[in-house]
Structure 1
Amino acid sequence: MGDAAPIRRILFAAMLAMSAVNPVQAQDVSLGSDVQGLLTFARQQSPELRAMREEAEAAAQRVTPAGALNDPVLRVELMNVNNYGRDAAPSLLPSKVGETKYTLMQQLPLWGKRELKRDAAAADALQAEARAIAVWAELAARIKATHAESFRAAGNERLAKEQLGLMTRIEQVAQVRYASGLAPQADAIRAQLEQTAMRSELIMLDSEKRQINARLNALLARDSSAPLADAVTLRVLPTLSTADASALAERARSTNPQIQAELARVAVAQKTRDLAQRNRYPDLTVGISPSQMGSRITTWGVMVEMNIPLQKEARRGEQREADAMAAAARSKVEALQLQLVGDLAANIAGLEASHRNEQLLTTQLLPQSELGFRSALAAYESGRTEFSMVIEAQRQIRKARQEILKSQVEAQMRLAEIERIVGEDL
């Protein structure tokens, strides 16, 4: 047992070299290392978001025309173009016909119809803007979740490489003990098998990373093979618990873009309904009519025109349609609020559970696993246990670190979903 102390020093040095699975500060500022850089890039480059912004801008530009008067109408009537009773040839020139009448008319919608049209267009513009915000909230949530997956994949790869390095050192120790007649050759072979398994796992982890990067590049509107840095940092989690669910639900009702879009849709339907009611009343068209004989304006006239809204069934149908649309929009708002509040409560509970689980794993399971490894190592050095127990104890440490990483990523994904529901970062 004379070489027990050197063995212990080698293995513990390898253990200390393995970093704990905690969010680290970003050292690489290239795209992909942190989520904020990804969000900034996506906000500038996303064609889907750009399209929704342009649609919102187009809707905003429809507000002013919606409340504007129609263009005036100019009517020119040439009378007695054949110059009957006059010693003149037929003509189409105003000064060479019997009489030319000019009528300039302007339609005047009454009863506040212009204001209702403008208000409906403004509500429609708000709906388009809310839809654009909803698209960004959805895209941002997907980027945050995919970045968290990237962090998990990078962390698992790092743990696998550290495990492979440790197995290499353990194999060297087993070879030395075998050469000294202190351990069977099976120990060295077992260490070699563990290394092969680790190399196979690294191949799968590399494939997983490339798949995640391809999805992330798609969200960023980049080529699927464009390079991305490994995710090296996670966002700091806000302090949330199930007690905060009510406050966040109330906040979501006023800031969630999907709810705001549906509320704007309700406003559009209500304004359309009011306009259908006002259409039961007539509009006016006024005009002036100068008449020309020869080269002189000889007489002036004034005209007033009124439409007669006799098609009552058509207008009742329009009103019933608007009522149904408003009722449907209100029901959709109610259903959406119930769904989002339920999703919010579930994700807050999930976030709290992930955070508590991470604390339990960090403060209890990981130290216990490390203690178990030291115990197995000491027993192996004294010949009281087999080499496989040392391997199994090391696996427990790696599993604990993987579970910590999983809890961290799960919390980040829950946070991304909560922020999507609330409609803004917390």
Structure 2
Amino acid sequence: MRGVTLTRTFALCLMLGLAAPALSQEAAIGRTVESLLEFARDRNPEYAAMQAEADAVAERATPAGALPDPKFRMELRDITRFGDQNPTLSPSRVGSTRYLLSQDIPWFGKRDLKREVADLEGESARARALGTWWDIAARIKTSYAQWYYVQRNERLTREILDLMRRLEKIAQIRYTGGLAALQDVIRAQVEQTRLRGELVTLNTEQHHQHTRLNALLARPADAPLAEPERLRPLPAPARLDYATLEERVRARNPLLASDLSKIKAAEKGRELAYRNRYPDFTIGAGPIQYQSAIKEWELMVEMNIPLQQSSRRSQERESEAMLAAARSRREASTNQVLAELAENLAGIDGARRIEALATNDLLPEAELTFKAALAGYENGKLDFATLLDAQRQIRQARQEQIKAQAEGQVRLAEIERLLGEDL
């Protein structure tokens, strides 16, 4: 009995040991945006639904180009044998039995056009599914950048809070020595209270970003995520040339690709509408049975007569209008996509310059100002309000730096969404 217990314990430990890496790996996602994208690609239900719909649409091509199912017909003729017998359904006892196997055949080229329309609709659905993924990827990248900003802003606020505690101690020492007013100590305490209030707001925003990311990953809202470690480097300015990216957007943007497939499908649909001016055929063949013997064979050809010209002209005008609508829709989509591209390129350039300005000019100047103000306050040459203002300038410069980094990532995510690929 003890051996069985030990065996079960060993098996349980083995299963936990095998499961631990998977659990730790899932909990570790979040350090980089790449880990989030890799996780979401296989698990996001919205993308999975669009892929399933695209697969469903693609399956329409085969039945669209197939011949209709053949039809079998049996006719029992003269079931009373000129009134000499009671009605019967036995083929050997009626006057004659006619068997007919028939097949509907559309006019030449109609099946090919229907198959091509279905193929193009499948391409459009696949492009929409791809566009859905890049929309989701952009949301993940944007949420990750905002999460990174909130985390770094929280860390910065805590550093400034620690700094304010040290300044409060300096103010208390000077107040005790009669070198400063009590108001300086109170100002330092009020500033700390304000910073604690901002920490509450940042913690709430961090929770919101955490929840949004887990929703995009199809995970529970409170599932653990590792803290973001770094942002992706921005592409070099030479790779963000508008003319080059415009060509790539026109060639690869999923929305434009879907609209182009819709235009081609509408063109095929128009051609099919004009082919409906010609008749479809039905051919058939079968024997005729008399009692128990086959004594006759017959062939049959049938065609519909396209007399309803007003109906067909209406269908043709409809197909022309659908084609015009598809072309106008793609033109509108192209204008919108290119406008967004130009806007985001300008945004990423602005974010890059603001970050450089904050890093190279604002922050060093603010740090020098703070050091000078701190020395002046300790020597009694400056008041505490000036010292607080210098501290706020440092914080503002760092916030501008972090905000510009996050803004650059958001703009980069939008550009990659428009391109349908990573830069």
TM-score normalised to structure 1 length: 0.89
Instruction: Check whether the contact 2:117–2:265 (CA below 8 A) recurs between aligned residues.
Output: yes
Decide whether the 8 Å contact of 1:242 with 1:352 is kept in 2: no
1:51-85 C-alpha deviation (Å, 9 max, x unpaired): 11111011111101100000111110111111227
**What is the alpha-carbon distance in structure 2 between the residues aligned to residue 229 and residue 96 of structure 1?**
85
Q: Does 1:190 align with 2:191?
A: no
The residue that corresponds to 2:49 in the other structure is: 51
| Secondary structure of the corresponding residue to residue 93 of structure 1 | coil
Match of 1:398 among 386, 395, 403: 395
* The one of 34, 47, 67 aligned to 1:36: 34
Range with greater deviation from structure 2 (264-273 or 319-328): 264-273
Q: Residue 153 of structure 1 contacts residue 209 of structure 1 at CA under 8 Å; is this kept in 2? A: yes
Which of 75, 78, 81 pairs up with 2:76?
78
**What residue number does 1:200 align with?**
197
Which residue of the partner structure matches residue 233 of structure 1?
Answer: 230
Aligned residue in 2 for 1:289: 286
- Following superposition, the deviation at residue 225 of structure 1 comes to 3.6
Residue 99 of structure 1 pairs with residue 96 of structure 2 = yes
Aligned 1:231-310 pairs, distance under 5 A = 231-240=228-237, 244-310=241-307
Q: State percent identity of aligned pairs.
A: 50
Q: Equivalent residue of 1:106, what SS?
A: strand
What is the aligned length? 399
The one-character-per-residue Cα deviations of 1:357-385 (angstroms, maximum 9, x if unpaired) are: 11111011111111111211222232211
CA distance in 2, matches of 1:351, 1:415: 7
Which 10-residue stretch deviates more, 198-207 or 225-234?
225-234
In the TM superposition, residue 190 of structure 1 has moved relative to its aligned partner by: 2.4
TM-score by length of 2: 0.90
Asked if the contact 2:27–2:224 (Cα under 8 Å) also holds between the matched residues in 1, the reply is no
Please give the alpha-carbon distance, in whole angstroms, between the structure 2 residues aligned to 1:403 and 1:291: 92
Aligned to 1:144: 141
How far apart are the structure 1 equivalents of 2:279 and 2:376? Answer: 99
Q: 1:216 aligns with which of 213, 217, 226?
A: 213
- The answer to whether the Cα contact below 8 Å between 2:277 and 2:306 also exists between their aligned partners in 1 is yes
Is contact 1:290-1:297 (8 Å) kept?
yes
**CA distance, structure 2, for counterparts of residue 180 and residue 85 of structure 1:** 134
Greater Cα shift, 380-389 or 62-71: 380-389
Measured after TM superposition, the shift of residue 170 of structure 1 is: 2.0
Cα RMSD for the two superposed structures? 2.0
Match of 1:387 in 2: 384
Deviation string for 1:331-369 (max 9, x for gaps)?
Answer: 111111111111101110110111011111101111111
- Structure 1 residue ranges, 4+ long, deviating more than 6 angstroms after superposition: none
8 Å contact from structure 1 (residues 240, 348) kept in 2 = no
Partner Cα separation in structure 2 for residue 278 and residue 200 of structure 1: 73
Deviates more, 1:360-369 or 1:293-302: 293-302
SS in 1 for 2:237: coil
Distance 1:29 1:224, change over 3 A: closer
Q: Aligned AA for 2:159? A: E
Deviations 1:136-187 (A, max 9, x none): 1112111211111111111111111111111112222333333344444333
Query: What letter matches 1:412 in structure 2?
Result: Q
- The whole-number CA distance in structure 1 between the counterparts of 2:299 and 2:367 is 100
CA contact (8 A) 2:240 2:345 kept: no
Structure 2 partner of 1:4:
none
| SS of the residue 2:28 aligns to | coil
Give the one of 141, 159, 174 matched to 2:156: 159
After superposition, the Cα gap between the structure-2 partners of 1:219 and 1:362, relative to the gap in structure 1 and judged at 3 Å, is same
Counterparts of 2:94 and 2:172, CA distance in 1: 120
Corresponding residue for residue 11 of structure 1:
none
Q: Greater shift after overlay, 313-322 or 241-250? A: 241-250
Q: Which amino acid aligns with 2:415?
A: I
